[in-house]
Structure 1
């Protein structure tokens, strides 16, 4: 579709450069992370959901969602990169390792929203550690 435009308007721009630029934009858009997120920590469960919206949502249209009891959250990590942000949950599970890791790639989240999410998760993790330490002392 862009070949006709380049033939008549942009004689000095090579076609492979435009193709490479389009492919680079698609790659960056797919790696940047999910644009929509929602978190609900009220009650006894944590519900965290991310999904792609926008022009390149057809590349990764899968919704990432986790719904778990608060007592199963052991720890979390927040990584801030150049292009995207990543939130990693460490969850107590019944596997041989007793630990499961869930990653969420995020993008376009303001620092204030991210601070709110981190504060809520920090309160949950502190409460879980306190309960675990009290149980170990009472046994």
Structure 2
């Protein structure tokens, strides 16, 4: 199964650009208000604070692009930001038989996928992916696909 929200990149870029323009316009409006007009008083700080707060939240929620591929004998996970220098791109590929368990944690509007994988060195490795920008349907499809792999692995381990 393949899952990707790469088609939403133009929408995320548009929203990011819009927020940057609002932030820039807020700075200009703040400067004009302080130097020339002085109409808004202390409310003029909101011209900077509100767009900046929304912009920070947009980027703190996590990486916007998530790609998952379970076709074949390996699982592929990619997680990246629309602006490459903000977060490092995560890219992991491992055989399906190494998947032990997974967990999706949702706190307010932040959603994370935690994948536990067996490794030779220290037993298990925990991989973390940010899936806040996936829709409910995409998340449920991801759960179904990962559950199939986990159940198949448990059956193989039980038979051995």
Q: TM-score range by the shorter chain?
A: 0.7 to 0.9
Matched, 1:34 2:47: no
Matched, 1:122 2:147: yes
Look up the match of 2:119.
93
Kindly state the Cα deviation for residue 26 of structure 1 after the two structures are TM-superposed: 3.4
Kindly state the Cα deviation for residue 94 of structure 1 after the two structures are TM-superposed: 1.5
Give structure 2 stretches of 5+ with no counterpart. Answer: 1-23
Number of equivalenced pairs: 131
Kindly state the Cα deviation for residue 48 of structure 1 after the two structures are TM-superposed: 1.1
Kindly state the Cα deviation for residue 10 of structure 1 after the two structures are TM-superposed: 5.6
Please give the TM-score of this superposition, normalised by the length of structure 1.
Answer: 0.82
Kindly state the Cα deviation for residue 22 of structure 1 after the two structures are TM-superposed: 4.0
Per-residue CA deviation, residues 19-52 of structure 1 (Å, 9 max, x unaligned), is 4334422331222122211111010000011111
SS in 2 for 1:99: strand
Matched, 1:51 2:80: yes
- After superposition, the CA RMSD in angstroms is 2.1
**Higher fraction of helix:** 2
Q: Distance in 2 between matches of 1:29 and 1:5?
A: 23
